[in-house]
Structure 1
Amino acid sequence: MAAAKKSAKKAAKKAAPKKAAAKKAPAKKAAPKKAAVKKAAPAKKAAVKKAPAKKAAKRTPNAAFMKALTPSPELAAVVGDKPLPRTEVVKKLWAYIKKNGLQDAKNKRNINADDKLKAVFAGKKTVSMFEMTSLVSKHLS
């Protein structure tokens, strides 16, 4: 009788994989539907990417940044005495800082002022680049 029970168990084990195989077959049919959905998704993303590119072409600079401002005598010693837009003043300041090696070696955000820049930076020896813009704006009119 023990041999009959073992053979019955083996038969049950062999029957189980057949049922599992039957369950897997419908899953394979569902896979192509998912692939079709994935193919449609990139088309939508491409349309989204094109829309911002059109907006970027229409963008115009703010007129406040382009208005020519007269630098104070202290700032004029660094950037020149001609009226310049705020953007050009900052560009010339950074050119002066790089030319004279005034950017701090350890912390690139800090600027070590020389004699000309100390007058612009209200006598401060070291200024962060974020603080620099507010100090320079006081010298523009």
Structure 2
Amino acid sequence: MATKTTEKAAPKAAKETKPAATKPAATKAAATKAAPKTTKAAAGAKPNALQQPLKPSADLGAIVGTSPIPRGEVVSKVWEYIKKHNLQNPENKREILADDKLKKVFGKDKCSMFEMNKHLAAHLKA
């Protein structure tokens, strides 16, 4: 019986000692390493339109502050203001019910969230 167990173990050992892959490991490692990518910021290019600081108008500045900030941050701060003051229509959350400060920015009492960016863009200057 002892010979049978060693005979079964021998084929497994033979399977484990397969020849190495056709490509050497060093070549695979070199192929997977790519040259470091240079970003636009590192190359000295201008930031894209969403990252460029813009100066808000006086009306919009009452909500987001008067210092130049990127467009994405303006939208975030306006949404913070809307949620803090509970200005979303409870029946339709996509509709914003403007208070006195937002009426100056939107130019009307109600505004959809999709229109909001159009109104904000009118109050931002480069």
TM-score range, shorter chain: 0.5 to 0.7
Pairing 1:68–2:53 present: yes
RMSD of aligned alpha carbons: 2.0
* Correspondent of 1:86 among 71, 96, 116: 71
* Percent pairwise identity: 52
Per chain length, whose mean CA-contact separation is higher, i.e. which structure has more relative contact order (CA < 8 Å, sep 6+)? 2
Pairing 1:104–2:102 present: no
* Correspondent of 1:133 among 111, 117, 125: 117
Runs of 4+ in 1 over 4 A off after TM superposition: none
How many Å separate the matches in 1 of 2:121 and 2:99? 19
Give the letter aligned to residue 63 of structure 1.
N
How many aligned residue pairs are there? 83
Specify every segment of 5 or more residues in structure 1 that has no aligned partner in the other structure, as ranges: 1-58
Larger radius of gyration: 1
TM-score by length of 2: 0.62
How far the C-alpha of 1:63 sits from its partner, in A, is 1.0
How far the C-alpha of 1:120 sits from its partner, in A, is 0.2
Q: What secondary structure sits across from 1:131 in the alignment? A: helix
- Normalized per residue, which structure has more strand? 2
How far the C-alpha of 1:69 sits from its partner, in A, is 0.1
Give the letter aligned to residue 71 of structure 2.
R
How many Å separate the matches in 1 of 2:90 and 2:80? 16
How many Å separate the matches in 2 of 1:73 and 1:105? 29
Pairing 1:95–2:80 present: yes
- Normalized per residue, which structure has more helix? 1
Q: How does 1:116-127 map to 2 (within 5 A)?
A: 116-122=101-107, 124-127=108-111
How many Å separate the matches in 2 of 1:64 and 1:116? 26
- Residue matched to 1:17: none
